[in-house]
Amino acid sequence: DGGITQSPKYLFRKEGQNVTLSCEQNLNHDAMYWYRQDPGQGLRLIYYSQIVNDFQKGDIAEGYSVSREKKESFPLTVTSAQKNPTAFYLCASSRAGEITDTQYFGPGTRLTVL
């Protein structure tokens, strides 16, 4: 089955810890994205990548880092510099390069800071 997987589903972090959220896709999509969603709010773009070994900051990149070493994988690290990391994190992918490209989402990771 083609799709996007995210792990873990739930993640708990202590203050001052870095944590890494996994995102893998087997759709052969070039572009991948990370969004953050807070209760009652829309999706805010953290980082996106259109090709391997290249990525761009989104609207709220501070306190986050990413890598894109493989086409299939786009992990997100939430660093201790992110002051309010408790949120629902969504990974998405699209073919990229086409104006009509649709984004498809993984199941999400819910991060809670203890």
Partner 1 sequence: QKEVEQNSGPLSVPEGAIASLNCTYSDRGSQSFFWYRQYSGKSPELIMSIYSNGDKEDGRFTAQLNKASQYVSLLIRDSQPSDSATYLCAVISNTGNQFYFGTGTSLTVIP
Binding of partner 1 by 101 (CB under 8 A):
yes
Beta bridge partners of 92: 33, 105
Binding of partner 1 by 86 (CB under 8 A):
no
Site for partner 1 in 18-77 (CB under 8 A): 33, 35, 40-43, 45, 48, 50, 58
Binding of partner 1 by 98 (CB under 8 A):
yes
Binding of partner 1 by 79 (CB under 8 A):
no
What H or E segment, with its residue span, contains residue 55? Answer: strand 54-57
Give me the least distance between CB of 103 and partner 1, in Å please: 6
Cα–Cα distance between 96 and 38 in angstroms, integer? 26
Q: Is 60 helix (H, G, I), strand (E, B) or coil?
A: coil
Q: What share of the chain is helix, strand, coil (3-state, %, to 5)?
A: 0, 50, 50
Which residues contribute to the site for partner 1 (CB under 8 A)?
33, 35, 40-43, 45, 48, 50, 58, 90, 98-108
